[in-house]
Structure 1
Amino acid sequence: MSDGPLAGVDAVAWHRLHHAYGPATDVPDQLRALRSRDEDRRADALACLSGNVYHQGTRWQASHAVVPFLVALVDDPETPDRAAVVGLLHRIAIGDRRDDGLPFDPREAFAAGDAFDGPEHDGLLQRFYDEEELSDDECRILDAAAVRWAADSYFAASACLTTITGWVSDPDDLVAAHAAALVAWFEATDGVVSALVAVPEHRTRPRAGANLALAHTPAADVRVDRRLRELIRSGTTTTAVTAAVACAYRDGEALPEQALSILVEASGRDDLEAVPGWDRALRGFVMLALQRLGLG
């Protein structure tokens, strides 16, 4: 019998991959539980996966192997709670990094992982899993291992970027908004930028998330700048504010006067909506935008 989006999950050698609590043999059933009709069972599975393959921000050997199955689950419209699964995928792929790390350079971020060679250090990993006492040098090697596992998870998600980008236009606003926040951490390909620009204005949550993602797109692009200016003039409050933030990030002091007026007005408000997929409050983005202009 096919497992649908989880086809092939039992072919992974989970017993050879560790997570925070030992061999990852419990992962397949936790992934399957994300498809359950029982809401409590799904919530438990999500919590367990968050705790074992993304434990307090640390990724493990098994973490990267979970990524393609999470992508497949989100890509299947029959999966319940898809936005929550995107959130878990985001944590595994990106870790606990905040938006001040954007634009993201994976080569620089994961350079320390080059000091770890898995096969050469298998014995050390086993001693670590057995909770044996380790020297300072051995602990440094394990720190490099954690960076390598984080890199493996990131690049596993990067390999699925085309699929993830497709979610930016998903009919579910929360899925689309979380996807917009996630693609901001990967290469700003033409496909990614086009998807972010194309989000309709009336879909406030994904449009706001797309604006914040475009704020961190480094390359000059006429399509992006034209779209942001349109949204400043005609968008809802959340859409206009996030578009103004994006203009400040991209244009600096050359931003349109209307964008500056929107930012100044928004800086005094405590009722701005949160943008799904972003940890920072929208007012925090406003204040950072003003700081970039020398006004914060």
Structure 2
Amino acid sequence: MSIPPETDWAVLHHAHGRASDVPGHLAALAGADPVARRAAVSSLTGSVYHQGTRWPASAHVVAPLVALVDTPTTPDRTVVLQVLHAVAIGDRGDEELPFDQVRAFAEADRVGPSDEEAVLHVLFEQDEPDVDAVADVADAVVLRWAAAAYRAAERHAGVFLRWLRDADPAVAAHAAALLVWFPRVPGLAGALADVPCGAHEARASAHLALAHLPGPLGSRELASLTASSTSADEAVRVTAAVALAHRCGTALPDEALTVLAHAYERDIAAAVPGWDRSLRGQVALAVHRLGLAHITTARTAG
């Protein structure tokens, strides 16, 4: 993988100063040495995604990370995809879904390049940083960097769609968990519904993404979820029921309601790759949306 020559990393900043070290870390991610790859992941997450904060260099890291994941011979593609997710989305959790980027980044629009330069000057060029001097714009500037990273990733959403059918099921699962943050991607709901039934990890992740997309689902997506609620795979079956609970409310099919009721009374060990909330937590959230009384009735009937 080659680093775009137009990127002048020496003029960009990350959490620890100039980003001149970034090309080396990106190159190490494609290398054969597993120790060097782990070190590169640690260095990148500690610099362009430092405790959730993005920096001017963060948006420029997106394209090389996408290229790495999109190259089948790249080692640890799922790990690289997790780094990409962190850079693009930050620490946002699924409680912020469906995601509205206009609302989320509105405050970033009140600052500009001069405010960004002022914050960087205070942080990296003053011997005794006068943080108070930029206190009124600092948060908005940080949000501006986050918005730039998000929008850089959004430009590659078509590639993420292709990853839904990747030969590596973990890559496909993490791709679904990333795509849910880009709801404006044309054809997203249909692509999630079409994830192959045999790819259980990816299918379960796609179900959770369908659960959290904005707007109504079409008949194609609802039919796919309904069919999956009878799957022999527990994670596929339960996530389909969770998605139907989110999208249909108390009008969800009886089969899905029964699956959800049974899952609610058990300690589910399964997890869905790409999602921080456990499958047990996803079930609890769906039950909360339906109302406990509705689940109790379903358990009694079952």
Q: Which moved more, 1:267-276 or 1:69-78?
A: 267-276
| TM-score relative to the length of structure 2 | 0.92
Distance of 2:130 and 2:58 partners within structure 1: 24
The Cα of 1:126 is off from its aligned counterpart by 1.2
Tell me the matched-pair count: 291
1:15 shift after superposition: 1.0
Query: Which residue number in structure 1 is paired with residue 139 of structure 2?
Result: 143
- What residue is the counterpart of 1:58 in the other structure? 53
Consecutive unaligned residues in structure 1, runs of 5 or more: none
What residue number does 1:183 align with?
179
Superposition TM-score, scaled by structure 1 size: 0.94
- The one of 71, 80, 88 equivalent to 2:75 is 80
Q: Deviations over 1:175-232 (max 9, x none)?
A: 0000000000002434322221111111110000000001012232111101000001
Aligned equivalents of 2:244, 2:133: Cα separation in 1: 47
CA contact (8 A) 2:85 2:178 kept: yes
Q: Quote how far apart the aligned CAs of 1:110 are.
A: 0.8
Of residues 185-194 and 204-213 in structure 1, the stretch that sits farther from structure 2 once superposed is 185-194
Contact between 2:268 and 2:279, CA under 8 Å: does it hold in 1?
no
Change (3 A) 1:124 1:208: closer
Select which of 56, 65, 69 maps to 1:70.
65
CA gap of 1:140–1:121, structure 2 versus 1, over 3 A, is same
| C-alpha contact (below 8 Å) 1:188/1:217 kept by paired residues | no
The answer as to 2:260 corresponding to 1:266 is no
1:224-259 Cα shifts (integer Å, max 9, x gaps): 101000001234111010000000000001011111
Equivalent position to 1:250, from 247, 251, 256: 247
Deviation at 1:135, TM superposition (A): 5.0
Q: For residues 110-169 of structure 1, what are the alpha-carbon distances to aligned partners after superposition, in whole Å with 9 as ceiling and x for unaligned? A: 111112211355244212223533254612311111000000000000000001111011
Asked whether 1:193 is paired with 2:189, we answer yes
Q: How does 1:1-296 map to 2 (within 5 A)?
A: 5-8=1-4, 10-130=5-125, 132-134=128-130, 136=132, 138-220=134-216, 221-295=218-292
Paired with 2:193 and 2:131, the residues of 1 have a C-alpha distance of 51
Distance 1:244 1:237 in 2: 11
Q: Which amino acid aligns with 1:35?
A: A
- Structure 1 window deviating more from structure 2 (178-187 vs 265-274): it is 265-274
Q: Distance in 2 between matches of 1:272 and 1:16?
A: 47
Return closer, same or farther for 1:121/1:88 CA change in 2, 3 Å cut-off: closer
Q: What is the distance in 2 between the residues matched to 1:98 and 1:213?
A: 13
What CA distance in whole angstroms lies between the structure 2 residues aligned with 1:243 and 1:24?
43
Task: Report the 3-state secondary structure (helix = DSSP H, G, I; strand = E; otherwise coil) of the residue aligned with 2:137.
Answer: helix
Structure 2: gaps of 5 or more residues = 294-302
For residues 17-46 of structure 1, give each alpha carbon's deviation from its aligned partner in whole angstroms, at most 9, with x where no partner exists. Answer: 100000000000000000110111101101
113-122 or 14-23, which moves further after superposition?
113-122
- 1: distance between equivalents of 2:115 and 2:287? 50
Runs ≥4 in structure 1, deviation > 6 angstroms? none
- Contact 1:6–1:73 under 8 Å retained in 2: no
